[in-house]
Structure 1
């Protein structure tokens, strides 16, 4: 029996989320960004679930391209941080679309890319301050590409305030749409929160990765498709007046039944827990008392007769805490909560 912690990926909920996003953005193709090992859940797993459901993949590192290639991916692969000529020995694969966000990338692309009809994306910095060009330089480099014979150019951008809502994002969206109109370019700018705004921006691609996984469980139609589970490997009755864990971390002011789960900060949980942290087990709030490298201490006094050793406990998922609630217990972000899950110690499975 494998007692490793697991992340379950519910393929039916992933499919449901993609269908909802397609209906909400009927004029746009869907790109899934597999950066950070597909947000910690495994590129192989995400590819298995989404290959017939999405139109393209996005990558941040060259290693991610080789994983997709090994899986037989023939869909377009968009390289978010650009491709320096050396990455592919000066010959970019046919299905790889680079995003050009600095002058060296443009210089190399013009020098080494022979296929003038191949799609390329030019990065417009609308306010992220990470890659790309402001408006005047964008137009200058656009003409440089056109003068070199390239015609299949898409405007790429990234909204920095998507999670702050439409009102905070509108000025950036307006900048992009205005430039797209002026240059007559196709465009893509929507990450997950922007893809869920009540507008169809008619983009070439949307990039709704966390929405596909269902991070926020909002709106109601978006379903959280992931569940982190760990096994009870010990149950102890601790008498009143005893301490538990290192450095007397927790004092039992009453008789307490403690379940030890086989998951700890070495698996990707945060090292520190908030005082009022808890899990939802059998519809009951069960306080988290302490965390070690390999173990989590849970007060199960209220439901001790309903649990036994080897029971699997859901830390986050559709039947327990949201990813945001889980992350807040350890003072980390939602993205951290997923990408930190140890690839060797936490198994990811598709169900």
Structure 2
């Protein structure tokens, strides 16, 4: 059995939610993005906590996540931001999920199923204003709206888009996306479809411009404690609420010239105390952290020595650690004493982003504190 676990501090999450909500424009919903198992934090504990704080609207990655969340929160508004195909329409309707429409073919396929069961599928039109991923190009939206108006199985509840560069100091492209979105909105309304709900902004957008709030803002990474740095026109103080911990499995004193782990990529230059730690890339601890990352033991940063292996890593116990029994907690993400390692630190060392670090954690043991 793995000795690795995750701790979720829901008290911090509540403070993050309150900090974000109080800055939003009047009438703007906080749409909490809990996709991909709440960015690796745990879908149900995160959503339950948010609901207790008054959050009523959630975004998930797929119909399966939507069904799980619907069972837990019968009265919530739940939107699937990923692609939904015709085989999932019945479940989406049973779970009362809002689905994104991405092009004409998609509309026709989903509408056919909904019409066959004599019901209407709740949908938002996803408009591609420059992300280049899912969505109807903004210049095609008006024509699509004409065709949707004639269907019997689709209910258009809103429209949305997604910023491509809202985590950048350069606002020009985000501003262009907003103008394109507004152009598409006018085209839809000119074709007789009243738009009840509009949303484009995400964590970066919320921090950059209040005018982008519209009816709802989809906030993800910021609520998990990792806002985009130095972008804010709003003062929103948030903190990470996930800690990832493990245990030492062996301590050994080795001489000068002792090699560590596969490939002998680290060789000691002096007598060294090493600790073998119960975590590896099978747990989601990136192999790119080999000889390149740190853990916390007794409040001291201890460097990884040698390659990260499937289930274990080796670290050097520096002098600050002092006497050690081997029963001490090892912090992979979190605070210990005066030191802290965040998902953003691991991301920097591994040359990736905090999103990937958090959603890669595969530790099954999750504890609510």
* Separation (CA, whole Å) in 2 of partners of 1:126 and 1:217: 22
SS in 1 for 2:357: helix
Offset of 1:89 from its aligned partner? Answer: 3.7
Q: 1:304 to 1:201 in 2, by over 3 A?
A: closer
User: How many residues end up aligned between the 2 structures?
Assistant: 347
Q: 1:299 to 1:126 in 2, by over 3 A?
A: same
Equivalent residues in 2 for 1:1-351, closer than 5 Å: 4-26=3-25, 27-53=27-53, 54-89=55-90, 92-93=93-94, 95-111=96-112, 112=114, 114=118, 119-148=122-151, 152-165=156-169, 167=171, 168-180=173-185, 183=188, 185=195, 186-216=197-227, 218=229, 221-273=237-289, 275-290=291-306, 291-319=308-336, 320-342=340-362, 345-351=363-369
**Are the counterparts in 2 of residues 217 and 322 from structure 1 also a CA contact under 8 Å?**
no
**Are the counterparts in 1 of residues 266 and 291 from structure 2 also a CA contact under 8 Å?**
no
Q: 1:217 to 1:197 in 2, by over 3 A?
A: closer
**Are the counterparts in 2 of residues 216 and 324 from structure 1 also a CA contact under 8 Å?**
no
1:101-156 Cα deviation digits (max 9, x unpaired): 1212312444425556x742111100111121122311111232234476753111
Offset of 1:174 from its aligned partner? Answer: 2.8
Runs of 4+ in 1 over 4 A off after TM superposition: 113-116, 149-152, 181-184, 216-220, 280-283
* Separation (CA, whole Å) in 2 of partners of 1:99 and 1:18: 25
* Residues 266-275 or 65-74, more deviating: 65-74
Offset of 1:335 from its aligned partner? Answer: 1.7
Q: 1:73 to 1:238 in 2, by over 3 A?
A: farther
Higher relative contact order (CA 8 A, sep 6+): 1
* Separation (CA, whole Å) in 2 of partners of 1:308 and 1:296: 18
Gaps in structure 2 of 5+ consecutive residues: 190-194
SS in 2 for 1:332: coil
SS in 1 for 2:16: helix
**Are the counterparts in 2 of residues 270 and 331 from structure 1 also a CA contact under 8 Å?**
no
Offset of 1:271 from its aligned partner? Answer: 1.5
* Separation (CA, whole Å) in 2 of partners of 1:249 and 1:96: 51
Offset of 1:346 from its aligned partner? Answer: 4.2
Offset of 1:286 from its aligned partner? Answer: 1.9
Gaps in structure 1 of 5+ consecutive residues: none
**Are the counterparts in 2 of residues 232 and 310 from structure 1 also a CA contact under 8 Å?**
yes
**Are the counterparts in 1 of residues 63 and 91 from structure 2 also a CA contact under 8 Å?**
no
What is the TM-score with the length of structure 1 in the denominator? 0.88
Q: 1:279 to 1:65 in 2, by over 3 A?
A: same
Q: 1:76 to 1:190 in 2, by over 3 A?
A: same
**Are the counterparts in 2 of residues 217 and 223 from structure 1 also a CA contact under 8 Å?**
no
* Separation (CA, whole Å) in 2 of partners of 1:160 and 1:110: 29
* Separation (CA, whole Å) in 2 of partners of 1:216 and 1:297: 31
Q: 1:314 to 1:94 in 2, by over 3 A?
A: closer
**Are the counterparts in 2 of residues 187 and 204 from structure 1 also a CA contact under 8 Å?**
yes
What is the TM-score with the length of structure 2 in the denominator? 0.84
Offset of 1:68 from its aligned partner? Answer: 1.7
Offset of 1:56 from its aligned partner? Answer: 1.8
